Structure 1
Amino acid sequence: MTEISQNDVNQIKQLEDLVKQLASNVSNLLLYLPNLISGLESCKHILIDDDSTFDEQTKAYAWAQVVKIVELLANAAKIAFELIVTFMNVNANVNYPNVDYQCLRALANFCITHDRNRQQFIDTGGIDVALNCLKQQKDLETIRASSATLLNAGLNYDNVNVGIVDKDGLNTLAEILDPEGVLKKYENDIEVARTCVYFATRVIINLIGTAEGKKDIGNTK
């Protein structure tokens, strides 16, 4: 085994106590996030090794650490969701630049292909803050991020889509499609404006794929 390979093994062994500690106090996770990411990198080196450097026992140990570390990250995601939504709610009355945009980017990335995160998006009020940003139309990037977040959250997950419909989301999204709205207001940045319309259209298509959306579309502008 090379020195680099042995370092990978040593690193994930050193992480074992840290993982146990964080499992009982996930609020400290951010302090040790670089250590956890580095540990996952070491696990990756072990598990994708094609030269038979590591025996099956070592690989099984690496897999076990992957499960524990990723479980920690998943548990921490709920805290992150709650904080992000809180900041967006506070910023609704403050309008500090870029807060909503960056928060929405985080929510959108959380929601890609992860149903558990999508449910947390609902439970923590993510639908409300995203729709509120669309209603306020503070700036073009935030409009795009809001639409993209709702799209990611609702892909193949109708709990989100039904939630959007229930909160009058069809009318809010229809405002983005209005030719006299975003496209006219931001004609100097027309490509981004068109992207906003595209994302909003795709969200609407997802919404009318639900029974609630089909029923509500007749009352939409």
Structure 2
Amino acid sequence: MRLRPVRPAGWRWDALLLAALVALTVLLTTGHLLGLDRAVADWADTHRPTAAYWTARVLNYLGQGTPLTLLAAGVGVLVGIRLHSVRPVLPPIAAFVLTYLTIGPLKLWTDRAAPSASIKEPFLPEGDAVRLFHTDGPYGVSYPSGHVANSIVWYGVLALLLAPLLRTFGRTVPPRLVTLVRVLPPVVVLCTTTYLGWHWLTDSLAGLLLGLLLDRILHRVPWDDLPLPGRLRDWDRPFISYP
């Protein structure tokens, strides 16, 4: 059983993503980049007219984890039914487990407030709102951005399932469409979640790094070759290499 190739190839990119996430966290912990976060948040706060606010808010729904989870699971089930295989359901399950075990624990551990926390929580010192490891309560779950990480992971899973789904209807998916599905929503979510003041800029960058790392892990898995229990022999058809 061989791992599937990813682009760009090589484990060094995975190592670089992880190292960059660790380095970013260390820099924030030691007080660096906080001024940049504050400057971006202050600019967004003074350049947010009503029309732009609601446009960004609507577009930010592209990164909602629960709807994306349900959508990916639904597409996986649909492909599985059409191919008579359980394998298309495995990527959504793995993506849910990976995001659940990484994003949430990191948020709780780093305990960072969102840019708007000082408004919602008047007792929160202004200078502390941007720091990691500083507060308890519902507003200490800002780092990394779950919206950004989720959008990268889940649209990557949807792109993985899109081609097999269309092939079951006798159609092919243009490579540019796959790229668009994987790239455009995360970019939109990164920009809107920062612009709305729901995350600091470095929250979004951390979500980007973590999401890319998880995406590479998921795309390395040889889904068509994973061993399954004998009782599933009649539901064991491949889906990625399905003609």
TM-score normalised to structure 2 length: 0.23
Report the structure, 1 or 2, having the larger helix content: 1
TM-score, scaled relative to structure 1: 0.25
